[in-house]
């Protein structure tokens, strides 16, 4: 299997000219001005201004919730504490969501990813120190396939705008792509456009990028003797999401000789979902190599 150890030490992403929230929040609020959720969504608090924030960024049903569930189960096994940040939001429903998240992690029953349909901040703690914070949010908040024309980087929800633009923490943008995403090619192009706009307007030099290619189990041709062929998976991702990798082309004439792109590639599978007649699909977690690979790359983004 190919070693996918990429070095992004002198990554140079985006412009430093990040506008303040005042210059953008009107857009974000106007988008939903006739709903009550705007005020609610604004009401977030992040006490930790240091630990990097991992954003699982992807369209609905791409696998964000289950990626977090799979990663959290793996980290717990390694001895990390993974817990929802209860101080992130003050409302009662948030506390319920935290409880639901913990229940999902502990259960051995079939899990449904869409049980978590609201946003949540999760802390990964090792020996009392927060290693990173992971934001899990509904896909519509990142990209809505039903509104593919909305690809501007200026129309994020208020809470996301606040996290992205106002916090000093490093962001690790985990862009989720899906093997065999069953949508029209123009929707895929729009998603790539949305990521392009994010990169140009929102990413800072200190930020890091992961492209996670989820549901690789759906592409049998990527496996040989039961082993996943990583470089073939990356090629498949590039074929399916035209123009995505070139957004992160390394512009440095020297380092680009050995590192063409400023992203880390992670092929992923959250698990296996077996349809039960008349019941919930049964979930079996994926092989450990997947969360292990993801965590290795995230650690490099956190430290590097
Ligand atoms: N084959 C396969 N299916 C997956 C995988 N991961 C997720 N799925 C399927 O995708 C569904 C949605 O996964 P979620 O994790 O809930 O997706 P999400 O991105 O959180 O979706 P939203 O919360 O609606 O934005 C799951 O219920 C599974 O049916 C995977 O690795 N392989
Ligand atoms: Mg989800």
> Looking at ligand 1, which atom is closest to the CA of residue 218?
1
Structure tokens at 215: 């549901």
The whole-number pLDDT of residue 107 equals: 61
Sorted by sequence, the CB contacts under 8 Å of residue 85 that are 6+ apart come out as 98, 121, 122, 123, 133
| Total-model pTM | 0.86
Q: Whose CA is closest to 175, among 244, 222, 250? A: 244
HSE, side-chain direction, 13 A CA sphere, residue 24: 21
Residue nearest to atom 30 of ligand 1 (CA): 215
The whole-number pLDDT of residue 133 equals: 98
Over residues 101-153, the pLDDT tens digits come to 888 886 655 555 444 457 889 999 999 999 999 999 999 999 999 999 999 99
The whole-number pLDDT of residue 298 equals: 98
> Looking at ligand 1, which atom is closest to the CA of residue 268?
31
Burial status of residue 63 (CB atoms within 10 A of its CB: 0-12, 13-18, 19 or more) = buried
**Domains, in order of start, for the chain:** 21-303 (3.40.50.300)
Q: How many Cβ atoms from other residues are within 10 Å of residue 89's Cβ? A: 22
Instruction: For the chain of 304 residues, list the mean pLDDT of each consecutive stretch of 10.
Output: 42 37 36 40 85 97 93 96 92 86 72 61 97 94 93 90 95 98 96 97 97 98 96 98 98 95 98 83 91 98 94
Sorted by sequence, the CB contacts under 8 Å of residue 159 that are 6+ apart come out as 41, 42, 44, 119
Cβ proximity of 70 and 271 under 8 Å = yes
Between the CA of 225 and the centroid of ligand 2 the distance, in Å, is 32
Residue nearest to atom 22 of ligand 1 (CA): 60
The whole-number pLDDT of residue 42 equals: 67
């Amino acid at each position: 299997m190919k070693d996918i150890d990429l070095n992004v030490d002198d990554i140079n992403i985006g412009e430093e000219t990040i506008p303040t929230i005042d210059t953008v929040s009107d857009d974000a609020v106007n988008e939903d001005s006739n709903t009550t959720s705007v005020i609610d969504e604004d009401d977030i608090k992040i006490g930790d201004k240091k630990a990097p924030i991992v954003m699982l960024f992807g369209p609905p049903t791409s696998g964000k919730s289950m990626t977090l569930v799979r990663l959290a189960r793996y980290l717990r096994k390694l001895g990390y504490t993974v817990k929802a940040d209860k101080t992130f939001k003050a409302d009662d429903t948030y506390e319920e969501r935290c409880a639901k998240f913990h229940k999902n992690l502990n259960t051995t029953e079939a899990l449904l990813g869409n049980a978590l349909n609201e946003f949540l901040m999760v802390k990964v703690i090792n020996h009392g120190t927060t290693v990173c914070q992971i934001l899990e949010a509904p896909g519509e908040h990142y990209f809505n396939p039903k509104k593919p024309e909305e690809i501007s980087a200026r129309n994020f929800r208020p809470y996301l705008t606040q996290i992205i633009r106002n916090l000093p923490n490093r962001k690790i943008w985990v862009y989720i792509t899906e093997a065999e995403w069953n949508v029209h090619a123009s929707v895929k192009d729009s998603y790539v456009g949305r990521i392009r706009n994010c990169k140009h307007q929102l990413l800072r030099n200190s930020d890091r990028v992961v492209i996670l290619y989820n549901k690789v189990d759906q592409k049998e041709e990527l496996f040989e003797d039961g082993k996943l062929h990583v470089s073939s998976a990356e090629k498949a991702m590039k074929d399916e999401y035209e123009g995505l990798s070139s957004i992160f082309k390394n512009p440095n004439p020297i380092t680009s000789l050995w590192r063409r792109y400023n992203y880390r590639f992670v092929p992923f599978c959250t698990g296996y979902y077996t349809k039960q007649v008349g019941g919930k699909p049964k979930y079996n977690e994926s092989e450990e190599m997947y969360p292990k690979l993801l965590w290795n790359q995230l650690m490099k983004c956190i430290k590097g």
